[in-house]
Structure 1
Amino acid sequence: MDVYRDGMQVRPVGGNALLIEVDDPLAWFAHLDAERRAGRLAAVDIVPGARTILLDGVADATAVAATLRDTRPPSRPPSSSVPVELPVHFDGEDLPFVAEHVGESVDTVVATVLATELRVAFCGFAPGFAYLAGLPWTLPRLPSPRPRVPAGAVGLAAEFLGAYPTASPGGWRLIGHTDSPLFDVDRETPALLYPGRAVRIVAA
């Protein structure tokens, strides 16, 4: 493991991948994706996580690691795309808990969600499940997950907002639901929400 400037850590993963630990994965994802698009970074895939970026399929991991060592931490760029609108019915059973936890009224919680432009930080857990960043709160998960959360349920956990593309167990604090299809294998891009995409929640 090598530790670079500002605490960034780079670990080799096999022979042709690097795992990068950074403070702002969204900023680094945007920077590395732009470098790849410009032909300055040869990588098959760039996978952001909550605190990491995986560079997979790099031809020369040593050279890429050296380049990272000399790269100043990028600032998060403004969104370059029109936000996708995600209509939400604010009827979640955990809305009162969320309001009490953050010290606001339910109406203020809803207004804050509607007024905040979110960004998909990373995807995981299930196909089409996106972790949206940008809200000012941090929410605890349920002490025990619900055995079944219905498809389309919208919830909060830690600093993220997420919507369940399919029914599954889950421990997020539910604030509502959306009728939008979040994952469709017949679409050109199956996942409606993908890393870096700007998202605006609108009242359904």
Structure 2
Amino acid sequence: MSARAASNGRIHRVGRSGLLVELADTEAAEALHAEILRRRADGTLPSVREVIPGARTVLLDGLHEPQRLAAELPHWDVPPLRRDEGAAIEIPVRYDGPDLAEVAELWGVSTEEAARIHAGTAFRVAFCGFAPGFGYLTGLGPKQHVPRRADPRTRVPAGAVALAGPYTGVYPRSSPGGWQLIGTALHTVLWDSSRTPAALLAPGTRVRFIAEDVR
């Protein structure tokens, strides 16, 4: 993705102090989100109270001068996203999911190689949603994108590692779901209301899956 990605976005006012930036894709949204966090951290964007990324959007709220920022955003130089910056959260995984064989077939590899590909990918939380603690992780290449299941399950267990489209996710609690289940996260609590912060994964967090059963 080239610089000045924000210039390709559509900017909308939200309430009295917010802006919603619509972008071309998730990669552009991730890059803009990272740049906003960088500018807020170094003090060049001090007035932002909340920054909430989505699949193709970034919401900024609590702005003192939203109209001024709306005029400046198209001229920002937004560098390409770097996935290797910052410490990574490591999540041990047992690749035992009921859909692993189907995913491996879609990828044209063995189940062992599918597990190695997934565990060898540098993931990043693009945004959160669906359920408290559920992060949408990007990093898999286009050849590893898979469709959702035609028949969603009525119950997906907590800790299930799953794929859908370009995303990987870990179910923080038992719930219905239509993603392809490829493994089980071990010794990992995605959401704990008694913890600060309650969510283990936040937008921008790097994630590395550690395969416990791949030799």
Which bracket does the TM-score occupy, shorter chain normalised? over 0.9
For residue 74 of structure 1, the aligned residue among 75, 79, 84 is 79
Contact preservation (8 Å) 2:8, 2:23: yes
Return the TM-score normalized by structure 2. 0.88
2:166 maps to 159
Matched, 1:26 2:33: no
- How far residue 77 of structure 1 moved from its aligned partner, in angstroms, is 3.1
2:99 partner amino acid: D
SS in 1 for 2:39: helix
SS in 2 for 1:183: coil
1:103 maps to 108
Contact preservation (8 Å) 2:162, 2:183: yes
Over 6 Å off, 4+ runs: none
2:202 maps to 194
- How far residue 69 of structure 1 moved from its aligned partner, in angstroms, is 1.7
User: How many Å separate the matches in 1 of 2:43 and 2:84?
Assistant: 21
Matched, 1:38 2:42: yes
Contact preservation (8 Å) 2:7, 2:74: no
SS in 2 for 1:182: coil
2:117 partner amino acid: T
- How far residue 144 of structure 1 moved from its aligned partner, in angstroms, is 2.9
Matched, 1:127 2:132: yes
Q: Which runs of 5+ in 2 are unaligned?
A: none
User: How many Å separate the matches in 2 of 1:79 and 1:95?
Assistant: 27
SS in 2 for 1:28: helix
Percent of aligned positions with the same letter in both sequences? Answer: 43
1:26 partner amino acid: E
User: How many Å separate the matches in 2 of 1:192 and 1:121?
Assistant: 14
After TM superposition, the structure 1 stretch with the greater mean CA deviation from structure 2, 69-78 or 15-24, is 69-78
Q: Which runs of 5+ in 1 are unaligned?
A: none
Contact preservation (8 Å) 1:30, 1:77: no
2:197 partner amino acid: T
CA-based RMSD: 1.5
1:16 maps to 17
